A and B are shown apart, each in its own frame.
Chain A
Amino acid sequence: MERTGAQILLECLLQEGVESIFGFPGGAVIDIYHHLPDYPALRHFLVRHEQGAIHAADGYARATGRVGVCLVTSGPGATNTVTGIATAYMDSIPVVIITGQVPTPLIGNDAFQEVDIVGISRPCVKHNYLVKDVKDLAWIIKQAFYLARTGRPGPVLVDLPKDVLQAKTVFEYPESISMRSYNPNLAPNRRQVRKVTELLRRSRRPLVYSGGGVISSDAAEELTWLCRTLRIPVTSTLMGLGAFPGDDPLWLGMLGMHGTYAANMAVGHTDLLLAVGARFDDRVTGKISSFAPSAQVVHIDVDPTSIRKNVNVDVPIVADCRQALRGIREELEICSDLPDWSEAHQSWLEQVSEWQRDHPLRYTFSEEPIKPQFVVEKIYELTKGEAIITTEVGQNQMWAAQFSKFHRPRTFLTSGGLGTMGYGFPAAIGAQVAFPDKLVIDIAGDGSIQMNIQEMATAVSYNIPVKIVILNNGYLGMVRQWQELFYAKNYCATCMHLNPDFVKLAEAYGAAGFRVTKAADVERVLKEAFAVPGPAIVDVVVEPEENVYPMVPAGAALTDMLLV
């Protein structure tokens, strides 16, 4: 039986096990939408802006580990996704973006709603395709999903001209994929693994620095085993939060620009840095030349380009993090003369806990105005780490990372690499669609939330009960903090005059709205908001000029921290 390209696409999505699609229609994809009702297993969520669709697909992917799918029309629909594509690319998130395109005979003619999205998105996708013949559609979709989720995951875009969607052919889904030019290396090299165990054996001050790769390769369990068994303290990037239990005494908190004192000092003094699924981003390393100055560096990453891009590495292991960590474990298990790890690392662990004790994260409590850190602590207390937390970008993001604890992977979703304001709310919608029974909370700033607030209509119309907690400081806080510290308090263009009334805004969309101004009310109001059955906004009026500390000024050494 012959089917149209539009039907074939939907068949392919079924075959890939897709169940949720985030999208927005238009002329170029109307054929897909025409057939969508015939596929009730594919739930489509109509967003209010294509950026919302791609972030929601991304949030879905981060929360589940599966490929998120986003469907938009040609031209402006496609360009509206670019920020979200770049966001997913920087954080290695598997999403497939389906864009409509003008009919093939019109391509290149500046046709109505034509844009070269394959060209525009090229620098920020793992790969992309323009489908020119309906006969190629099935294998391209198969490849797209395969590429998105294997190796170092990432976004893959498929551009579908309208005539291809209308053309007919017999549908056959290819069973296997062979690509001569794409064969990610997943298994670690034995000799390198042996070198690592040798280094571990000799090290007296080891430190694990883990990143998002641990989460995307589902290696949290292996990481936790290694650190607990060998008694190695752990720090992680923003993207790595949740891979190691946040209440374990070995956990030092995040490192880097807003990392903890203990984590950054540990990096400064370690003799063996085990970097797992992390890429030595400049927000993490500070001044490269003084990063981990006395350490041998082991770097495990599935992407060879990550290795030696920023720092020199003594033992590179190009492999899937989980397979590499398992390899190390197996190697250790066959060694006979292992040291007593607690004894070997004793003085180091004492040193580290001294740093933790002497310089914990802190802030000065105040009843009114409320301190934003207090709100984050309360959220953690009420949810005990059971919620999925998303964030926007800025101070809200850093406080969320610092003052909550994460115990499980895929419970903290944030735009790490690109730092995209407007990410958190649609991502929360995506996560909530995947986990309807979990509590999903977007910790937001008053600036960021306004970048995709229109998705409140999406949340209300599908009764997606996401809770938004706005740490409302009336500023683009993080930029204001830089202006305060490094630009002589010239608060140019960072004051959010005339913010909307967020309570009324929630209500206008048909959601619940709450406001808190006193610390004593925070717990009660949060509880109330978390208990309402639908989406809600909690507008928390916080101290306008609170800063995120500790802080390593951009380009300084990690150990040169501004403390509170």
Chain B
Amino acid sequence: MRHVLSVLVENEPGVLSRVVGLFSGRGFNIETLNVGPTLEDGLSLMTITTSGEEQIIEQITKQLRKLVTVVKVVDLTHLQSVEREMVLIKVNAEDERRAEVLRIADIFRCKVVDVSGNDLTLEITGDQGKIRAIVSLLQRFGIKEFARTGTVAMRRSMQVD
């Protein structure tokens, strides 16, 4: 099962390789990984998506907590959380198909961030489902370039069930 881990770490040289090395050295898999500084000096937040059986995920979170530079690990999977990913897609959009691409972009609330005679570059944010949907819709036009950030996630303030 896919899990989203929110990992607060000391922002110091080598911390990323400690985390990544833990995954590779123990044969765990990383699907996406995203890192950035937090508002608090000296701390960064990583969002890691990974998958595996419960026992593996338990090991991953415990092993992460054991790293001296890791301050906190939260598995967001069983919490209500907001998940977003940003993707840039450069898609073929010659004259006769441009309108159609733009209409799809509009439906998905994409932003057009670059244009040329032959293509359009779209910026999309959304959860995995939305990204998958637009990618599959745009594929028939021909995707020339594709760049994604990996998931960032945050626990919702209200945990209603």
Residues of A within 8 A of B (CB): 118-119, 122-123, 126-127, 130, 147, 179-182, 303-305, 308-309
Contacts and interface: CB of A to CB of B under 8 A. Distances in A.
Contact of B66 (A118, A179, A180, A304): A304
B59 A122 contact: no
A308 B55 contact: yes
Most chain-A CB neighbours within 10 Å: which of B65, B68, B69?
B68
B88 interface: no
A122 B70 contact: no
A309 B66 CA distance: 14
A305 B59 contact: yes
A308 B69 contact: no
Interface stretch (B9-17, B90-98, B146-154): B9-17
21 contacts: A123-B21, A123-B25, A126-B68, A127-B68, A130-B14, A147-B68, A179-B68, A181-B67, A181-B68, A181-B71, A182-B68, A303-B66, A304-B62, A304-B65, A304-B66, A305-B59, A305-B62, A305-B63, A305-B66, A308-B55, A308-B59
Nearest to A184: B66
Contacts of A182: 68
Given A122-B17, A123-B25, A147-B68, A181 B62 contact: no
A453 B70 CA distance: 41
Interface residues of B, number: 19
Contacts of A118: 14
B58 interface: yes
Nearest to B8: A181
B46 to A, nearest CB: 13
Interface string B62-91: 110111111100000000000000000000
Contacts of A123: 21, 25
A147 B69 CA distance: 12
Nearest to B10: A181
A281 to B, nearest CB: 15
Given A304-B65, A305-B59, A181 B17 contact: no
Contacts of B71: 180-181
Given A123-B25, A181-B68, 6 more contacts: A126-B68, A147-B68, A180-B71, A181-B69, A182-B68, A305-B62
B109 interface: no
Interface in B7-47: 10, 13-14, 17-18, 21, 25
Q: Which 8 A-B pairs have the closest CB atoms?
A: A127-B68, A305-B62, A181-B71, A304-B62, A123-B25, A182-B68, A305-B63, A305-B66
A77 B134 CA distance: 55
A304 B65 CA distance: 9
Contacts of A309: 59
Given A304-B62, A308-B58, A122 B68 contact: no
The winner among B58, B62, B63, B67 for most chain A CB atoms within 10 A is B62
A473 B117 CA distance: 80
A126 B69 CA distance: 11
A130 B17 CA distance: 14
Contact of B21 (A122, A181, A303): A122
Most chain A CB neighbours (cut-off 10 Å) among B14, B25, B69: B14
A126 B18 CA distance: 11
A304 B58 CA distance: 10
Interface string B90-134: 000000000000000000000000000000000000000000000
B70 A181 contact: yes
Nearest to B68: A127
Contacts of A303: 66
A221 B14 CA distance: 41
B17 A119 contact: yes
B12 to A, nearest CB: 10
Contacts of A119: 14, 17
A123 B71 CA distance: 19
Nearest to A307: B62
A179 B71 CA distance: 9
A416 B55 CA distance: 26
A306 to B, nearest CB: 9
A303 B63 CA distance: 10
Nearest to A127: B68
A213 to B, nearest CB: 15
A181 B71 CA distance: 4
A182 B71 CA distance: 8
Contacts of A181: 10, 67-71
A441 B154 CA distance: 58
A122 B71 CA distance: 18
Nearest to B14: A118
Contacts of B14: 118-119, 122, 130
Nearest to B18: A122
A443 to B, nearest CB: 33
Contacts of A122: 14, 17-18, 21
A123 B19 CA distance: 10
Nearest to B65: A304
Nearest to A128: B14
A130 B13 contact: yes
B124 to A, nearest CB: 35
A309 B61 CA distance: 12
Contacts of B18: 122
A305 B14 CA distance: 22
A63 to B, nearest CB: 27
A310 to B, nearest CB: 10
B26 to A, nearest CB: 9
A122 B23 CA distance: 13
A11 to B, nearest CB: 24
